[in-house]
A = this chain, B = another copy of it.
Amino acid sequence: MEPVTAPPLSPTDRSRVRRHRDRQRGDRAELHAVLDEALVAHLGLVVDGEPVVLPTLHARVGEVLYLHGSSGAASLRGGEPVCVTVTLLDGLVYARRWFTHSANYRSAVVRGHARRVTDPDEHLAALRSLVAAVAPGQEEYAAAPSRKELAATAVVAVDLDEASVKVRTGPPGDGDAVAEGDGRWAGVVALETRVAGVTTCPALPAGTPVPGHVPAVGDAL
């Protein structure tokens, strides 16, 4: 068998990272990981010649990124250029100098054109993925959409043909300053997103058990 070679993240020059090129990653798996871990994406559009950026839920299926049709995606007819960016903030980099402060992060910038999802099977599968992306298990537990609900929920797709991934990890970059004996502490404050509480809908009887697929207090997401 021929080895399967994943396509590069982008064939275009404009998606080449210009600042901090050492932070650019070229693995498609890394793109997938960043998109899959992020709970929120930021969708960029051009409206009347000016940029608009709106938060949206997203889900990746293979090499396609789906965006929930509420938010800005609702205004997309299809064919418009879009940019979808997700950012995972992994840590804050405390340095010895203002200048060398930074953040540890993983970000993905996807550029492409919006495609309205009209095929009924793809539409349903995309909605299932959108539910599973933010609330895994709910795609089985909760009720699938009625025909009316389906019609009321637009989904936009963007092919993952052109993307860039940028990652910063590790300690502050001014470790050399230690030799100068300035004596200041420096390091990394790592961050995580955790479940702070689980509140049952007040319309349900008190004590209604929480199903096992729902994350519990303290779980990292």
Contacts and interface: CB of A to CB of B under 8 A. Distances in A.
Q: How large, as a class, is the contact surface on chain A?
A: 35 or more
A142 to B, nearest CB: 5
Contacts of A198: 187-190
A51 B45 contact: yes
A89 B142 contact: no
Given A153-B99, A201-B175, A81 B42 contact: no
A92 B47 CA distance: 29
Contacts of A187: 198-201, 204, 210, 214
A101 interface: yes
B211 A111 contact: no
Contacts of A214: 94, 185, 187, 189
B200 A196 contact: no
A145 to B, nearest CB: 5
Interface string A81-118: 11111010100101111110101010101010000000
A95 B200 CA distance: 10
Nearest to A208: B185
**How many copies of this chain sit in the oligomeric assembly?**
2
Given A51-B45, A202-B175, A204-B185, A131 B196 contact: no
Contact of A40 (B89, B94, B142, B190): B89
A10 interface: no
Nearest 4 interchain pairs by C-beta = A175-B203, A44-B51, A44-B53, A42-B42
Interface of A: 14, 19-20, 39-40, 42-55, 57, 70-71, 74, 81-85, 87, 89, 92, 94-99, 101, 103, 105, 107, 109, 111, 127-128, 131, 134-135, 138-139, 141-146, 149, 152-153, 171-172, 175-176, 178, 182, 184-204, 208-211, 214-215, 220-221
